[in-house]
Amino acid sequence: MADTSNTFASPPGAGPDFSADEAQKSPATLIKALGIGLAVAFILSWVYGPLDFHSPLIFLNLALVYFLGLLLGRIGEALLKILRLAGTAAAVSLGVAMGLAAAWFSWASYLFTITDYNFEVYFSVVLDPGELYSWIYYLAENPIWAPSGRGGKASSFPPLFYYAVWAGELLTLTVVPVKKCRQFIANHRLCDSCGHWLADNGKPAVRRTPPDLPAIVASLKAGDASVLRGLEPLSPEGSGGWLTIKGYACPRCPEKPGFVRVFRNELVMDKKSKEPREIENPLGGFVEIPVDLEGEIFAEPEPAGQPPEAPGTPADPEETA
Ligand SMILES: [Zn+2]
């Protein structure tokens, strides 16, 4: 694999050491991410399990579980980012593994807490799914949740209620991290040359929604960005929504072509607040863009008729003195 004909050894950390393709498909990178993800789930379980025991209300537990799911999701995103791991399959595996591990370890640390810190119980549950199932069954059928130390507190809900709550907890712990990790993968792309993440150019362009939008979407999905040529600027009277074009490029490979993502923005009436609310939906993924078109789209001044609540425009006119 190593190319020995290259006599100029690159200094460590200075050059591309692998291609984007390798980064996306390397099983070693995924295994590393899964290993760190499981370790994180293990550590967090020692916070969540005892908290679950001491929390006075089961509904507070559900909020805690949601918070734990969000935390796992953020850590999953960070792992994908730092390890440069791309691909939906990797994102889903990482999210599911972290969620399942967090649920399992949390059950173990919870049972450890309610059995007066019995390590035998802890290890039997961690090592044997059948043991965990026996405990879950026992607790649902015999809802006296603090056998010792707290005098026992009888519960008034039927077993089915607990099964439903625990199933909801498990679902929250897996779905939330998977969603976060998938979102990260959908919104980021690795450079084909050096395997680092592309960076947002920070100046989204706005265009009026063209009448032939379906044809444009089809071309974008086929990887053809030239359909974005000559789109009309946004006019204040344009009420049918607008397109936002975001540009991305590799910070390490200035010679490589950039990419764009196109979003459709619309103002919809919020049913609850009765206020118009902006929604933004991506029209496909990253599309490579020719250099001259990139210039046409991003180099011009911002159009005068900015839509209300346009993203990424916190400019305060009073400060530009
Ligand atoms: Zn690059």
User: Within a domain: residue 255?
Assistant: yes
pLDDT tens, 177-220?
999 999 999 999 999 999 999 999 998 999 988 888 999 999 99
Lowest pLDDT segment from 12-16, 26-30, 74-78, 304-308: 12-16
| Locus of tokens 């030239």 | 226
pTM of the predicted model as reported, rounded to 2 decimal places: 0.77
Asked if the structure places residue 161 within a domain, the reply is yes
The rounded Å distance from CA 243 to ligand 1 centre is 27
Q: Decide: 99 and 174 in contact? Cβ < 8 Å.
A: yes
Across the chain, the runs of DSSP E, i.e. the strands, are 199-200, 205-208, 242-249, 258-269, 276-282, 287-289
- Written as six digits, the tokens of 218 are 């089809």
pLDDT tens for 90-141 read: 999 999 999 999 999 999 999 998 888 999 999 999 999 999 999 999 988 8
pLDDT exceeds 80 at position 173: yes
- Residue at 159 is within a domain: yes
Cβ contacts of 128 within 8 Å, gap of 6 or more: none
User: Comparing C-alpha atoms, which of 170, 174, 171 is closest to residue 37?
Assistant: 174
Whether residues 34 and 182 share a domain: the answer is: yes
* 56-70 pLDDT, tens digit each: 666 788 888 999 999
SS3 for 168? helix
Cα of 164 from ligand 1 centre, angstroms:
48
Regarding whether 237 and 286 lie in a shared domain, the answer is: yes
Domain count, the chain: 2
CA of 262 from ligand 1 middle (Å) equals: 21
- 253 CA distance to ligand 1 centroid (A)? 4
Question: Contact at 8 Å (CB) between 147 and 115?
Answer: yes
Q: Over the chain, what is the mean pLDDT?
A: 82
Task: Indicate the SS3 state at residue 19.
Answer: coil
Instruction: Please choose, from the candidates 259, 255, 257, 256, the residue with its C-alpha nearest in 3D space to the C-alpha of residue 247.
Output: 259
**Which two structure tokens, joined as six digits, stand for 244?**
């936002």
Ligand 1 centre to CA of 300 (Å) is: 26
The answer for residues whose C-beta is within 8 angstroms of residue 53's C-beta and 6 or more apart is 110, 113, 114, 146
Residue 6 included in any domain: no
Boundary-marking domain end, from 187, 214, 244 = 187
User: 212 with 299, same domain?
Assistant: yes
Distance from Cα 188 to the centre of ligand 1, integer Å: 13
Ligand 1 centroid vs 79 CA: distance in angstroms?
20
- The reply to whether 9 falls in a domain is no
Give 264-287 pLDDT, tens digit per residue.
Answer: 998 888 888 888 888 999 998 999
**Which amino acid is located at 144 in the chain?**
I
Using the mean position of ligand 1's atoms as its centre, give its distance from the Cα of residue 32 in Å.
23
* In a shared domain, residues 89 and 128: yes
Q: Using the mean position of ligand 1's atoms as its centre, give its distance from the Cα of residue 191 in Å.
A: 5
Query: What domain range includes position 295?
Result: 199-310
Give the Å distance between the CA of 194 and the centre of ligand 1: 4
pLDDT of residue 177: 97
